[in-house]
């Protein structure tokens, strides 16, 4: 689809801009230019004269949510092997089914997941997966902003000597063809993890990402013991330390999970500017642990939110992360002052954009007009006796059920809770039938 509109002024009862001051503007207006960027934001009464259409939305308008780590085509294996221990779940169910995947399966898995994200107000997703052509094509069709990070796994992409050069070349070609820093799709590189690929292969990939000034996205410190072998082989150094010494963390790096970090590791994140994709629901569901997010925030580390794949969450609704990230941090710290409503909303919007290097996540001039409208004429938003209470409602009692309309680059992709860009019924049908085939062919 062509993401072009003629520009318009949108007027809402409340604007939640998610800017540095966390400004809230009553009866606010957002002017969107024809190229899909925000041209002006402020009180409607102060807005400059315009000859573009003025659209009265009512409700609350805020930036779209940014999902910084997902494997969305895994909608095709959602729920499979539920309740099994991690290794049995992977080896007996997930990998056998994924081994049967074809590009057109991945396309439909991504299309279905894109509907789920857009309808819940997620306007950007950072994907780590193979079949990057299918994922990118489906995301473009759905009109969701995509950071595609083609994955590298040792079992598929490493030569006998451990080199990943051939896969890196393929991704470099894909980057040259598809990366558009001024468009809907940008391309990064995603070595799965140091424990899977080894430090040297991660360094090869990191060099290729740095050369192109693009994102390096990897899993890091997700579970307690995953790095033990690597550490033991290198004199007990932690995995972040090994990666840092190998230069892997020098470019633009986004580390998913980052649960098991000691103080020295946090020092490394702080000094190298590594951003974190925090996945609290996945970490809780898989029993991985609790990331030290309040300390990260205190150190000024960029922490964004993410769902992880729909096989370990099991949905793509980032509102759950908004609420649960904060609840988890508070119950762990035994302190209700930890991680405020404002902080978690910022993590889901502005910090997500920062972690991905995108001009979105804030309602301010120059950024992409990626916006969502919440219906606040709702039981969950009553009462409001101060602006602070409205912010609390957005974080704690609000959710995806309040998202009515969604724009990406100024183009409306959800209207009245209906996704306009993907045939949802067809996507559900396709994924259902393809998932049955995967189960049958893999004998799981």
Residue numbers at the binding site for Zn ion (CB under 5 A) = 308
Q: Is the dihedral of CA 231, 235, 240, 243 positive or negative?
A: negative
- Cis omega before residue 314 (within 30°)? yes
Residue 410 near residue 5 (C-beta atoms within 8 A): yes
Q: What are phi and psi of 190, to 5 degrees?
A: -135, 85
CB of 313 to Zn ion, least distance (A): 10
CB of 279 to Zn ion, least distance (A): 7
CA torsion angle 436 438 442 444 (round to 10): -40
Q: Which two tokens stand for residue 253?
A: 């790096």
- Quote helix, strand, coil % in the chain, to nearest 5: 40, 20, 35
3-state secondary structure of 13: strand
Residue (277 or 363) nearer to Zn ion, CB:
277
Half-sphere exposure of 212 (CA within 13 A, CB side): 24
In the bound state, the residue with its beta carbon closest to Zn ion is 308
3-state secondary structure of 181: coil
Residue (308 or 370) nearer to Zn ion, CB:
308
CB of 288 to Zn ion, least distance (A): 11
CA nearest neighbour of 313 among 273, 284, 356: 284
Residue (308 or 320) nearer to Zn ion, CB:
308
CA distance 243 to 259: 16
CB of 221 to Zn ion, least distance (A): 12
Residue (61 or 348) nearer to Zn ion, CB:
348
CB of 195 to Zn ion, least distance (A): 13
CA torsion angle 390 393 395 396 (round to 10): 160
CB of 192 to Zn ion, least distance (A): 9
CA nearest neighbour of 326 among 312, 304, 344: 344
Q: Which two tokens stand for residue 415?
A: 């209207």
Residue (130 or 406) nearer to Zn ion, CB:
130
CB of 219 to Zn ion, least distance (A): 6
Residue (71 or 373) nearer to Zn ion, CB:
71
The partner residues of 387 in beta bridges, in order of sequence, read none
Residue (308 or 411) nearer to Zn ion, CB:
308
CA distance 143 to 146: 9
Residue (127 or 364) nearer to Zn ion, CB:
127
Rg over CA atoms, the chain? 21
CB of 278 to Zn ion, least distance (A): 12
CB of 52 to Zn ion, least distance (A): 41
CA distances from 231 to 153, 210, 407 (A): 20, 25, 46
Residue (282 or 409) nearer to Zn ion, CB:
282
What DSSP assignment string belongs to 124-172?
A: EEEEEES-HHHHHHHHHHHT-EEEEEEEE-HHHH--TTS--HHHHHHHH
Residue (63 or 151) nearer to Zn ion, CB:
151
CB of 78 to Zn ion, least distance (A): 14
Half-sphere exposure of 53 (CA within 13 A, CB side): 8
CB of 386 to Zn ion, least distance (A): 39
Residue (308 or 317) nearer to Zn ion, CB:
308
CA distance 420 to 408: 12
């Amino acid at each position: 689809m062509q993401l072009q509109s003629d520009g318009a002024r949108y007027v809402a009862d409340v604007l939640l801009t998610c800017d540095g001051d966390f400004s809230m503007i009553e009866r606010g207006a957002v002017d969107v230019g024809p190229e899909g960027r925000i041209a002006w934001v402020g009180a409607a009464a102060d807005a400059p004269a315009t000859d573009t259409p003025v659209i009265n939305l009512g409700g609350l308008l805020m930036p779209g949510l940014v999902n910084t780590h997902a494997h969305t085509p895994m909608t095709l294996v959602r729920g499979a092997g539920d309740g099994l221990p991690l290794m049995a779940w992977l080896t007996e169910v997930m990998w056998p089914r994924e081994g049967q995947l074809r590009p057109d399966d991945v396309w439909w898995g991504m299309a279905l997941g894109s509907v789920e994200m857009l309808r819940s107000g997620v306007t950007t997703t950072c994907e780590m997966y193979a079949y990057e052509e299918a994922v990118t094509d489906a995301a473009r069709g759905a009109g969701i902003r995509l950071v595609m990070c083609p994955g590298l796994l040792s079992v598929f992409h490493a030569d006998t000597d451990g080199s990943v050069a051939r896969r890196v070349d393929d991704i470099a070609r894909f980057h040259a063809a598809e990366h558009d820093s001024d468009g809907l799709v940008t391309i990064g590189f995603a070595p799965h993890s140091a424990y899977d690929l080894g430090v040297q292969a991660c360094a090869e990939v990191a060099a290729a990402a740095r050369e192109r000034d693009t994102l390096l996205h990897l899993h890091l410190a997700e579970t307690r013991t995953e790095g033990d072998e690597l550490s033991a082989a290198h004199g007990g150094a932690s995995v972040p330390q090994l990666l840092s010494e190998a230069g892997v963390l020098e470019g633009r790096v986004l580390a998913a999970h980052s649960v098991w970090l000691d103080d020295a590791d946090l020092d490394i994140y702080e000094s190298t500017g590594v951003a974190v994709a925090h996945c609290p629901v996945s970490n809780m569901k898989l029993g991985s642990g609790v990331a030290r997010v309040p300390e990260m925030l205190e150190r000024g580390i960029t922490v964004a939110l993410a769902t992880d794949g729909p096989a370990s969450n099991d949905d793509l609704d980032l509102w759950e992360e908004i609420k649960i990230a904060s609840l988890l941090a508070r119950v762990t710290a035994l302190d209700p002052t930890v991680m405020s409503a404002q902080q978690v909303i910022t993590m889901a919007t502005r910090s997500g954009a920062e972690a991905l290097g995108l001009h979105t996540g804030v309602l301010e001039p120059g950024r992409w007009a990626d916006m969502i409208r919440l219906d606040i004429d709702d039981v969950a938003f009553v009462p409001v006796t101060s602006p602070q209470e409205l912010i609390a409602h957005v974080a704690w009692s609000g959710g995806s059920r309040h998202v009515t309309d969604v724009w990406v680059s100024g183009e409306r992709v959800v209207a009245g809770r209906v996704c306009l860009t993907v045939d949802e019924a067809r996507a559900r049908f396709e994924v259902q039938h393809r998932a049955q085939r995967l189960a049958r062919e893999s004998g799981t």
